[in-house]
Amino acid sequence: MPDTAHPTDHSEAGWLAAMEAVAEEDGYVERLGVRHWAFFAEAGPQLLVTFERAEAVRARADRMPAGHALAKARGWSVLTILAEGETFWRDPAVWGYFDRQVDDAFFDDFDQVLFLGAGPGGYAAAAYLVAAPGARAVLVAPRATLDPAIAGWDRRHRAARRFDFTRRYGYAPDMTAGADHVWLVHDPLHAPDAAHAALFRRPWVTVLNARHTGEAVAARLTSSGVLAQTVEAAMAGKLTAPGFARLWRARRGLPAYLADLLAETTVRKRPGLEQRLRRWLARR
């Protein structure tokens, strides 16, 4: 069911201004229905397609999608589909947008296309991947569907269950069939994400493990710099499970990882491990 409720007014002209300035030369910002926007900026022959929340963009100092910085640093073009609220991008206006890109052979203009998304955005990246046959994707803790007949065990995103996940671009794992390759990053110890990951298992999907990250897997990947390295390797078609494991291990010396580890021992009420970790950190 499409969401027709009007989002909270956030002075649209103001928060879109930065994107419009970037897109002015060779791109566009296009409103898609009530709660979605498409931002496109052309640069190089590689295209990064991301799915991000409008609220997150407004919270950033530059008021730009995170995917823009990733793409700009590497000379890539970028297409970001923004959502106001947790829509899971389940909107006929978004379906129609991707239909038009297929009709216009938009994705054929690029040497390589990579879809990227996390959580609900990972769902969308997988679901709309079918619009770009031969593209690649990095999915971070993606949801396969919220259809209660398939994923009734996932008690998260209760409000989003009102959307219809059985219609077009619906069951995300099936929508990856035409991909060149898909890499799925998740915490195998986090039960709901592991269950969704199991639904994605296909010959063209490589599962990459980021243990002990729980619901924060995307944040941990980003803060450690591993996400950017993972995306770069995926765009080049060089991402492998051993290569990702090396990147993941290398983050252990980073202050952000050590702070996360210390916080986890506190939350899990393991005082002995917490004290040993504090002593070890004090000696560094």
pLDDT at 10 over 60: no
The residues, ordered by sequence, that sit 6+ positions from 199 with a Cβ below 8 Å of its Cβ are: 144, 145, 150, 151, 173
Q: Which fold does the domain 12-249 belong to in CATH?
A: Rossmann fold (3.40.50)
What is the mean predicted confidence (pLDDT) over 56-76?
96
Q: Provide the 10 A C-beta neighbour count for residue 74.
A: 16
* 197-239 pLDDT per residue, tens: 999 999 999 999 999 888 999 998 998 899 999 999 999 999 9
Give the C-alpha separation, 212 to 234, whole Å: 23
Tell me what pLDDT residue 9 has.
41
Q: What's the rounded Cα separation, in Å, for the pair 243 and 34? A: 41
pLDDT above 90: residue 280: no
**How many Å apart are CA 137 and CA 131, to the nearest integer?**
12
Q: Which own/partner contact pairs does 148-153 have at CB distance under 8 Å and 24+ positions apart?
A: 150/199, 151/195, 151/196, 151/199, 153/192, 153/195
- For the sheet with 136-140, list strands across it: 27-32, 36-41, 77-83, 46-53, 112-118, 136-140, 181-186, 205-209
What pLDDT does residue 169 have?
Answer: 98
Question: Has residue 147 got a pLDDT over 60?
Answer: yes
* pTM for the whole structure: 0.89
pLDDT digits (tens, 9 = 90+) for 19-48: 999 999 899 999 999 999 999 999 999 999
Residue 2: band (very low, low, confident or very high) from pLDDT cuts 50, 70, 90: very low
Which DSSP state fits 54? Answer: H
Q: What's the average model confidence in pLDDT over 117-135?
A: 98
